[in-house]
Structure 1
Amino acid sequence: MRLSVASGVATFAAAILLYPLFQGGAWFWTSLGAVLAVVAAGLLTSRLSLPAWAAPLLAVAATWIYLTAAFTAGQAWALLVPTKESVVELARLLGVGWADVQRFAAPVPPTEGITLLTAGGVALIAIAVDLLAARLRRAALAGLPLLALAMVPATILPDPISWPAFIIAALGFVSLLITDGRERVGHWGRAVLVRRTTRAAPAPSPGTSRAAADTSGLRLSGKRIGFAAIALAVLVPALLPAMEPVSFFTFGVGGSGSGRGNSISIPNPIANLKGQLELPESRVVLTYTNNDDKPRYLRIYALDTFDGQQFGMTEPKGSPQNRTDNGPLPAPPGLGQEAKVSNVVTNVQISDEIARLSFLPLPYPARQIRVDGDWRADVDTLMVFSTRDEAAGLEYEVATSEPEPTADLLDSLDGAQPRVDPRYTKLPENLPPEIADLAAKLTADASTSYEAAVKLQQFFTKDGGFTYDLRTQGHSNSALRDFLLRDRVGYCEQFAASMAVLARAVGIPSRVAIGYTGGTKIGDRWTVGTNDSHSWPELYFEGVGWLPFEPTPSGSLGQGSARAPAYTQPRPTSTGEAATPTPGATSSSADEPLDPQARRNPRELDREGQIATGGLPPDDSMPLIGKIGIGAGALLLILLIPAGVRLVTRNRRVRTLGWKVSEPSDELAARMVSGSRGHPSVAAAWAELDDVLYDYGMARQTSETPRTLARRLTQQYEFDADSAAAITAIASAVERVLYARDPGRIGPMRKDLRKVRQALAATVSRGRRLRAVLLPPSTLRRLRVVGERLLDGFDLLENIGLRRTAAHKGS
């Protein structure tokens, strides 16, 4: 019965490793109930002496009843007994839970399906552990299903397992092994433990029964081994360099507004956009620099679905191979070889005051990002997000390859069929027909999709008589119709969404981007504030990809820092007009037409030639081989600590002046020091000789006197006359200090000690001498003595408990 309880404890201790995978504690208490149900079934099996094969069946039945009561009590008979309806509901919840697991990543929300799936899985592990440990008496094999619990967070999460959780899980398994060993030995009689201490084991009290074996002493040995193994398992990895974890499961990965969830639950980016624009004073959101010193739109979200009222965002997916630290991001959708691209490197610094932002503001399209943390790119939109990190205070570099299309190029690409997801052209069935009629009327004279897009933008910025104003409300079809056909007053949200809807109405794939405009140049950096929050449409053209358009009025009558890209303007009528700027770039009211070369950062100019291929310049940080070298050097220094301690000790002993008396290595040296107040050199010489003998494998016997030791060394290793005289002089000085009333004058012993050490070194191999220098056994012996004293302290605590138990029984 003890093994059943120990199996349950071990299982639940291992289940604690799962805590980083979940939000909240619902899974914890539900899994605890499932484990208790299995333990109860195991106790009943032991009580009724049922065969081993019956235990798993009874445990499965108990788990089924428990899960029915916990999740489908309304469909069960008497809230406990499963019925057909409860079975169907459990199956449905399991299916929902499995779908949620595929859709979310750690930490997953506490949905009912996920909680059921977790509790059922932990119960199955508990059944397997109970079968192996309590029924088949193979407690060591029970570690395999427990290891399966540890493998789940180890393979899914990028971070290592928490060491407190690991210690709890390891202690649970050790307790299972100790319980199994205690029950096995208990059948053979009383266990006798050889202790290092001289304290006698407590005698049994009169009248106590000897039927059961006293295995308390044996448990001490098991605890020592278990505790030592756990300590090594925690400390050794902490001393090793960190390695990148490998994920074997590519479940859906999302981010949350808080950076701690797993599903992408943005608290309505549209509402946040208007809230930032309505702030009474602007606050700095971020600053950035780039190698061409031009402002750029920084996109955060890409909204791709339209439900008739407002645009929404499909939950992004980021697999482990799309992490930013794995190299270049996925290629921009639709960008072909025909378009010329401009390669730019931008350094972005996010303000510390930004809260709950788990997406990175980026110029589009990003090709490579250098950023700390677990950040991943969505393949379809190239949004970069994290499920566990936040952008506040973050600094990162992003390399972009921005297309530089011309009107002629976009016209020439008109025949290419867009290869994009149908959701980018989907409109609701209840869209007012007046809106589709308006789109068709505005683009009636357009011969290409590009011309149609330009006419739509011109309708909002020039021809339609629109006015920029934040005092607008509504997202319904009627609000969209009123904005386009009657009021024509709104801010960037209405302009961007309306142009995207009209573009879809004429067959152009579109989406709405939310982020920031290029900001204002302050000093040597571009500064982006809350007043630069913005929304704009992105339209898709096969061969170039997604291009930003700007239907929101700019200047003093609109969003101050919003600027339409040059390729969306009417064709130039003369060759003297300005050259086309980078698509997506914006200019601010503070951006004066200065020579770009005079404003570039010299550091960026030096690196400009390195980014011609669209990637980031080489990392200025230390290369991997350097980090490995530092790690190896640190490990070597740690290994040389015993050698350093030995060297310091020896130099302190043999110094001519300032010899210390507090270096005796055993009882004999201690007695000698107590009687050698005028001769501390004798104590130091004897302690050093004792350590030299131990390092060379010639340890002095406890019963040997100094004279006997000198005689044995001289005869056994055939010392020459000088070496024999030196060891005899040391032994004689030690005996005089120990036993003579007046030891008389004792000369310096430094030369004698060096002569003896050289003679001893000549009798051992080179490997033994090298070990004596690099890994001296005498120093390791002292460390071992310290460890033994610590274990003796544990023994003392155990003996206190044993004596209290014995006294209680005697009373």
Structure 2
Amino acid sequence: MNHQLRTSAAAAAATFLGALALAPLFVGFRWLGPVVVVIVCVAGASLLIRSIPGVAGAAPLAAAAGYLCALTALYAPSQAIAGFLPGPAAVHALGTTLSSGFTDTTEMSAPVSPTTGISLITTGGIGLVAVIIDILATTLRRPALAGLPLLAVFTVPAAVLTKGVGWVPFVFAAAGYLLLLVVEGRERLAGWGRSVVGSAARRWGAAGSVGRQIARSGRGIAAMAITIAVVVPLAIPGLHAGWFGTHHTGNAGVEPGGHGATIQPFVTLRRDLTRSTPIPEFTYTSTGEPGYFRMLTLDEFDGTTWRATGLASGDDISARELRSGTGGREVVTTVTVSGLREAFLPVPQVPVAVDVDGPWKFNTTTQVFYNPQGVTRADQRYTVVSRPLTPSATELAEVSAAVDPSVATYLQYPSSIPQNIKQLADQIVAGARTPYQKAIALQNWFLANFTYDLDAKSGSSTNALESFLRDRTGYCEQFAATMALMARMEGIPSRVDIGFTPGTQIPGTNRYLVTTADAHAWPELYFSGIGWLRFEPTPRGDGQATVPPYGAGGTVPSATLPPTPGASAPQVGNIPSVAPGGAAAPNAGTQSGGEGLSLPHIPLPLVGLVGLIVLAVLCGPAARWWVRQRRWSAADDVAARVHAAWAELGDDLRDLGLDWSGETDTPRRAATALAASTHLRFQEDAREALLRLARAEEIARYAGPLAAQRLSDTHAERDHNIVRQALREAVPRGRRIRALLLPASIAQGLRTRRAGRRATIP
């Protein structure tokens, strides 16, 4: 096995072992098959080109090409040329799949069963790492730097997993990195020459004992380093994330700042709803009818997800300071925590007083209780006094469409939302005269025409929204997020609540049990003079999600009956990302980011893929430019400039695929042979420039101290440019393109340097 094969195999093995760090993110190992295919294709393409004389410098391009072809064959074969070449249709298909994958990553919680999009992201990312490691280890011979991309892979599960990556994936990744260092180090050591065997080794009859001793020492050091890296962190306390990305223990909580909580409630909501065995969260007793428990309010939609803003602001008050007399009849609820470990306190709607131990804060805008220093704990008890709002349908029908300035921000939504969604919302509420009638129309349309399904694709991004409206199946996340968005489009302030449904009564007691199966999301709409009211668009079917009395008693004019699945409605399957003509949505005055130019939407993954292709194509020209600039910048006198021009001429000839004897023959004989060739036979100016350059090279080589004086009137760079231009004009266009993109002189230079390093000591 030659050194190139050993190094390439070690680079591929290191990439594979590093990829195993991603295993905790997935259910099973089905994701690993495509990863192995791409790693093998990258290593194979690179090794194949390195084995061909004259083109070894193009190995990075070959690795990138193998990477792209493998991805295309795996994820877009029907759109590809010959099943694996990435044409325009295949690139578009890959971009679409990649965009879907990025959406999935924001809406699913590890461990996941990999979707096609997530698989493409994983395979594409590991494949890119394989290309980078191959270049670092085999082309640049800098294997130590390969630890950086391997570290990048390792940080993904380290950042995502709440319990950490674990020591087994770390051992695999570290072993792969050390393997690469050992293999490349062996090749570098061999370049110094034959091993010198000491007398002690000869006495023991072990000619190779020195090498084996070095190898044993290296393995011992590596094993010790890995062992220390695994054992020492066990003594360091770790941090573990909870339901909303907060900590289950320690100094968990919401950091101050007022710019929004860094949480992913929808991700954990789906995870808890799909648990095979629900986990008890808390129990409670109530002096009134059991109701919903709010934990968090999401008040801003950025086009990708709903976020909580304004938490931990300076205006928040201590939970014990809350005293309010507004609302309906007073209800007292006593809660006992069991499994819930969160920095957010579940409370009935419209709390007016809370008795809870600890530094809990109350956000007066969102009515959310949070702990900046800790979380709920087992057996913790607290009491909430609430005054649920119970307006009648008549009262709500009298609310005008005028929006209270204090809640105007709850009308904002991105101008990039597809215009057809606004048209669909307009059709649903057509004929409704008041905000209340519009709210009832939206709620009833979802209840009548959609199906509740936890297996449906999750998410509240624009792509997920389009899929939800097209397929008409989903779970509470999509129902709440979509109704809230449509309400804003129709001029009704809205937000999304995350929390729990009332739960189930414990037999023989007056207590109710709430589990992870009761996790829920619902929209809240604001009505002037009344306040925030819950609506229920989710057709959950288990009896837990209930329509409030004011939501069931309203009537909608017959002209606004919700469209059935077969009725004519705006199509949402293929919606442009901006409004027609580049204009903002009709109510852009109330949207965020409504000003500025409207540009065509280009998927970011597609931009990245095109950028990678461009980068790969530019590798060869960039390397050739760097060599040229370095050569000329180092020429600090006239003789050095002559040598640089002569060397550049040789590289130009190699790049164009022309014969050149300048390295083994005298300058005059080499120039005479080239001038007599068909390429310069009819180029008199170029032939004269070539002969002048050859004479200057002879003087620079052999004239010694007199060279500078005899070359005073020499213009080596100008003569070289004349010859170079004539040679380029004399060869076909294909050769010129190959010389630009795949300069053979780069590969020749690498081979020469490697041969020099591996020369043995006489």
Query: TM-score range, shorter-chain basis?
Result: 0.3 to 0.5
RCO higher in structure (CA 8 A, sep ≥6): 2
TM-score, with length taken from structure 1: 0.42
Rg larger for? 1
